[in-house]
């Protein structure tokens, strides 16, 4: 039976103490999030500071996460690396540790050489080697590379490439991805800013950093739309929008971690070269959370 990725998934931050991975803090955070109605989690995503982690750390994080995530919730693991072979090997390793799908970032260091054909071969070779399904990860904000609709349409024909996370924030492109791919190709929105608009266009799956901060609220927003309670849904979306703009869009990983601290989770400090927020930014976070009713 194909893997069902309907619902809301947070890309979980990686907690550090003294710049080292703190497994007990990840267990604490996940245990609390497990009670919120989320469909699962993304481990080793952009908001998990994956580019700043060693391979050994990554594997340990996956082990700890899998032990803490209930079997009824899905665990997607970020597995993309610059090398096709390295990505394929790492995907097999995380599959052995219980990952149910691999989120594969587009290689971008040699951006000008990442032609349609180069990317097609990259994703297809990984999909052929992988024992678990593959999701394409499109995040131009970080890669400065936007996958084309024609490439996604071609890759969607591969039986082990079951979907994508699209973080481009372009609703028109999102709709075109859906139009050009099979009905069972699962498109997970990756942009908090257009989540409500995507819901209005019948998208029902998302990987959102905001889901770390407002998990119950995003699950409820999806439920309201499913029940055609549009006025209540619009009100909730409007309430959450300033939170997403400040914490996710403007302040990024340091902002997300600071918000978690305010909400009683363990956020802690980001790993260098990322810098922890100064107090004025923390005060802004506190106020926007208070105004949204999250504090």
Instruction: Let me know: does 98 contact 75? Beta carbons within 8 Å.
Output: yes
The pLDDT confidence band at residue 1, using thresholds 50, 70 and 90, is: low
Q: Could you list the active site residues? A: 165
Q: Which of 187, 174, 163 is nearest to 100 (CA)?
A: 163
Q: Is residue 2 part of a domain?
A: no
Specify the pLDDT at position 123: 99
Q: Is residue 253 part of a domain?
A: no
pTM for the complete prediction? 0.97
Residue 236 has pLDDT above 80, yes or no: yes
Domain count, the chain: 1
What value does the mean pLDDT take over residues 129-141? 98
The pLDDT confidence band at residue 2, using thresholds 50, 70 and 90, is: confident
Domain containing residue 155: CATH number: 3.20.20.70
- Domain limits at 129? 7-214
Cα–Cα distances (Å) from 7 to 65, 124, 212, 253, in that order, read 19, 26, 14, 23
How many helices (H) and strands (E) would you count in the chain?
A: 12, 10
Q: Is residue 83 part of a domain?
A: yes
CA distance 146 to 175: 15
Q: Is residue 14 part of a domain?
A: yes
Specify the pLDDT at position 13: 99
Instruction: Let me know: does 126 contact 91? Beta carbons within 8 Å.
Output: yes
- For 10-67, the pLDDT digits (tens) are 999 999 999 999 999 999 999 999 999 999 999 999 999 999 999 999 999 999 999 9
Question: Cα-flanking dihedrals φ and ψ of residue 20, to 5°?
Answer: -110, 145
């Amino acid at each position: 039976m194909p893997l069902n990725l309907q619902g809301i998934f947070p890309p979980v931050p990686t907690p550090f103490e003294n710049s080292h991975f703190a497994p007990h803090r990840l267990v604490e955070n996940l245990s609390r999030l497990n009670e919120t109605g989320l469909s699962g989690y993304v481990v080793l995503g952009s908001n998990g500071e994956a580019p700043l982690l060693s391979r050994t750390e990554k594997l340990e994080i996956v082990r700890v996460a899998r032990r803490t995530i209930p079997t009824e919730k899905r665990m997607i693991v970020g597995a993309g690396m610059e090398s096709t072979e390295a990505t394929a090997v790492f995907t097999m390793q995380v599959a052995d540790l219980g990952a149910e799908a691999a989120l594969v970032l587009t290689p971008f260091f040699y951006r000008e050489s990442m032609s349609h054909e180069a990317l097609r071969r990259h994703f297809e070779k990984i999909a052929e080697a992988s024992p678990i399904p593959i999701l394409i990860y499109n995040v131009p904000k970080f890669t400065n590379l936007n996958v084309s609709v024609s490439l996604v349409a071609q890759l969607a024909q591969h039986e082990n490439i079951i979907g994508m996370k699209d973080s481009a924030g372009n609703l028109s492109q999102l709709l075109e991805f859906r139009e050009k791919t099979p009905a069972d190709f699962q498109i997970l929105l990756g942009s908090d800013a257009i989540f409500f608009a995507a819901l209005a266009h019948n998208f029902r799956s998302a990987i959102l950093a905001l889901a770390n901060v407002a998990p119950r609220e995003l699950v409820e927003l999806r439920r309201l739309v499913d029940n055609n309670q549009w006025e209540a849904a619009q009100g909730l979306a409007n309430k959450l929008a300033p939170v997403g703009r400040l914490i996710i869009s403007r302040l990024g990983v340091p902002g997300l971690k600071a918000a978690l601290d305010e909400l009683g989770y363990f956020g802690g400090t980001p790993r260098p070269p990322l810098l922890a927020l100064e107090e004025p930014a923390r005060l802004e976070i506190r106020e926007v959370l208070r105004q949204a009713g999250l504090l």
